[in-house]
Structure 1
Amino acid sequence: MATAPLHPAHPSLPASGEVLTVAQIGWAPLQALLAEHGLALQRVDDGAPIPGSYWGEPEAGLIGCTVYVRGDTPVHSALHEACHLIVQPPERRVLVHTDATDSVAEEDATCYLQIVLADALPGVGSTRLMQDMDSWGYTYRLGSTRAWFEHDADDAQQWLLQRGLPVA
């Protein structure tokens, strides 16, 4: 059984390096990926508050079927919030505002799916996304995102498969 990841309440970029941001990979690939799953990507002006952000700026926000991001929003955050919506049935998506998780199992599935979908973004990929998740402060029982994904995420895979969602 996996342990749900913990996210820092007030994340900051680590001294060891920066995480990829939405501005660095470009808006179009992320927008296209979200559209494939029935979601909209809404660009927020630099410095403006991000609507629906659970952790606060620069973390992505959610309202209904829209993911809100700024240029400085980490790619892992944009994918994570989008995956919260992807794992939910459409009737639940439209009700989401800021906080989308209803269970540890859903949180684990969200984390797993964001890693899988990272391979669809040019210049990102699952390896880089997992590194960024570790740098940002996600924590797992086995010590790293990669260890969790490769050795402790069977329940997340099963959760996704039962709902017809992609797994690696």
Structure 2
Amino acid sequence: MPTSVLRLADIDSTAIESLLAHYGLSLVRVPEGEAIPGSYWGEDEAGIIGNTVYARGDTPVHSLLHEAGHLIVLPPERRVETHTDATDSIAEEDAVCYLQIVLGGTLPAVGSDRVMADMDAWGYTFRLGSAKAWFEHDAENARDWLVEHGLLTAAGEPV
């Protein structure tokens, strides 16, 4: 497990910006030391307002992907009303966790394994003990939810 989580400043954000744009979202970089708008957890965690994800250089990549995932799973008409908290259900929250892992796998210098390790380091809890164990052995419902909502292919690839 990494000693510290991967942060936005550690990677080239171009790939994340392109990924977000694919889903009709944008990334706003918040200056260091300023509060992140729309952050549910505060401090360095990403925030969401409407179609925008807010992050600083010290924002964990897994946090940015998680908050973006909340917007991605919402229909466009609900996105515009979203501010800070976007979860409707446990099923949706599980789907967002699954999606952030899949999306991390599409980013150069990130990868699904790193996202899962960072989720564990941050304190996500799964009944099988780790994000990786959950993703590989206990996340069928989350995966099915994403497939049913047209966000993953049957092969598990992001749409």
Same fold (TM over 0.5): yes
Partner of 2:48, secondary structure, is strand
1:141 has 2:131 as partner: no
Q: Could you say what the CA RMSD is over the residues aligned between the two structures, in angstroms?
A: 1.2
Could you tell me which of 95, 114, 127 is aligned with 2:81? 95
The aligned residue for residue 150 of structure 1 is: 136
Q: TM-score, normalised by structure 1?
A: 0.89
Q: Give deviations 1:124-148, integer Å, cap 9, x for gaps.
A: 0001110010011110011000010
Whole-angstrom distance in 1 between the partners of 2:46 and 2:12 = 15
Shift of 1:120: 1.4
**1:119 deviation in Å?**
1.3
Which structure is higher in RCO with an 8 Å CA cutoff and minimum separation 6? 1
TM-score, with normalisation over the residues of structure 2?
0.94
SS at match of 1:128: helix
* Matched residue SS, 1:100: coil
- Is the aligned partner of 1:122 residue 2:108? yes
Matches within 5 A, 1:11-160: 17-160=3-146
Q: Deviations over 1:97-122 (max 9, x none)?
A: 00010100000000000000101111
Could you list the per-position Cα deviations for residues 36-92 of structure 1 after superposition, in whole angstroms to 9, with x for gaps in the alignment? 110010000001000000000100000000000000000000000000000111011
Letter of the aligned partner of 1:24 in structure 2? D
The number of residue pairs the alignment matches comes to 154
Question: Which one-letter code corresponds to 2:131 in the other structure?
Answer: T
Following the alignment from structure 1 to structure 2, what is the Cα–Cα distance between the partners of residues 26 and 43?
Answer: 13
The AA in structure 2 aligned to 1:28 is T
Gaps of 5+ in 1: 1-13
The 3-state SS of whatever aligns with 1:76 is: helix
Q: Distance in 1 between matches of 2:43 and 2:86?
A: 17
Quote the sequence identity (%): 65
Q: Runs in 1 of length 4+ with deviation above 4 angstroms?
A: none
User: Deviation at 1:26?
Assistant: 2.1
Paired letter, 1:27: S
Unaligned runs of 5+ in 2: none
Alignment-derived partner of residue 151 in structure 2: 165
